[in-house]
Structure 1
């Protein structure tokens, strides 16, 4: 059991009141810990404390780590002696806003702060299931650093939603020794059926890691509709566990021995031809 981790994914509804959203998240984590004493990690969704949207970002922005949402997450982690990956909130620092994921240790300390590196821009034409436009970069500032935290014995790479579309970031995390990637994600419903599972399985098979995503619950009446389907994908690129569309809480055990099993049986990292790749890049 030493190489295993029990985590919870909280696919929560998000309403217009920050205090109510945070209170709901805290209450659910407490309930899940009471029902599952082995629980070591709780993962919240992207934008779990306030509605997701360009028009909402400035209104609901808070400082990190001194804002009310961060204080609540710190207290929760320390009270339950668990790790908390705090989905994401809009962080205000000076005149800049960031989409930021905080990670809290069992002593309540902040051990990671990931500012979303790849800001989400889309202009989906109606014939492709959309007629939807969105541009985080019109309001937010991108982060510029990968974020790796240690959870128990494991190194975990953190990304936020659109970050998972970029294999380069996942490869950096693999090269840094990560065995799991976690992406809080308010993925849009228009692209969910095509790309949600595909991207997670791709990152898992490329890098032979666990990939974990946590979405808000779907609300078809909101201005931005999240896809749902929070998911755990194992290093074989198999979907180990998946939520539906609505409010749902998953408790799942991760067996990290599987990472080494996959890497030993399919040793793609030993087979990489970095000499060829470097030569090809120099000729471009």
Structure 2
């Protein structure tokens, strides 16, 4: 078991300030016992393709990578950046938690954010965490907010509002196995009737 924290930050145009705010929030989450911490999509810059060139930086020597490395090291936590090192393929049964840093807007957010997260948790019998920036009504792209953590039964176990907030949940990997044993969809495949493609 480990404690997961999702940090819902308000993000502005000042990258240095965004990184400083992220660093403070990571320290807070770590001091509250989080072992694994996720920042929202585009936590260091405004959201939108129009900002990519202006905010681009070298990897891994850029200020954001350096700040993330420092945050993880100083707080002795794992920070999520969306990549599974050394893993090129992930098959059914391997995964117990999906963390999705995303930014749904004010149209797709109310219609789909929680619905899709709960469906993915239930479909795959695993934990799903969806991590949004905080809502800024003055931004070009207004994010929905409502970062959430869903258990393998499809229940929302932690949910943020629209403001800056850190939410937490204990992730019990044994519970994933318990749910998968009670409804064994992964072991009831009929390969004699159909094949699943891995392409």
Residues 170-212 of structure 1: CA deviation (Å, up to 9, x unaligned): xx74526111001111112211111111111111111111001
- Map 1:37-116; keep pairs closer than 5 Å: 38-85=33-80, 102=81, 114=82
Structure 1 residues 42 and 276: alpha-carbon distance in aligned structure 2, compared to 1, 3 A threshold: same
Gaps (5+ residues) in structure 2? none
Task: Look up the SS of the partner of 2:53 in the other structure.
Answer: helix
Stretches (4+) displaced over 6 A:
none
TM-score by length of 1: 0.65
Conservation of the 8 A alpha-carbon contact between 2:102 and 2:132: yes
Equivalent residue number for residue 270 of structure 1: 187
Q: CA deviation at 1:277?
A: 3.0
Equivalent residue number for residue 175 of structure 2: 258
Give me the CA root mean square deviation.
2.1
Task: Look up the SS of the partner of 1:268 in the other structure.
Answer: coil
CA distance in 2, matches of 1:72, 1:190: 33
- Map 1:144-159; keep pairs closer than 5 Å: 147-148=83-84
- Asked if residue 220 in structure 1 is aligned to residue 156 in structure 2, the reply is no
- Map 1:84-233; keep pairs closer than 5 Å: 84-85=79-80, 102=81, 114=82, 147-148=83-84, 173-175=90-92, 177-233=94-150
Gaps (5+ residues) in structure 1? 86-101, 103-113, 115-146, 156-171
Where is the strand percentage greater, Structure 1 or Structure 2? 1
Q: Aligned to 2:14, which of 13, 17, 27?
A: 17
Conservation of the 8 A alpha-carbon contact between 2:158 and 2:168: no
| More relative contact order, 1 or 2 (CA 8 Å, 6+ apart) | 2
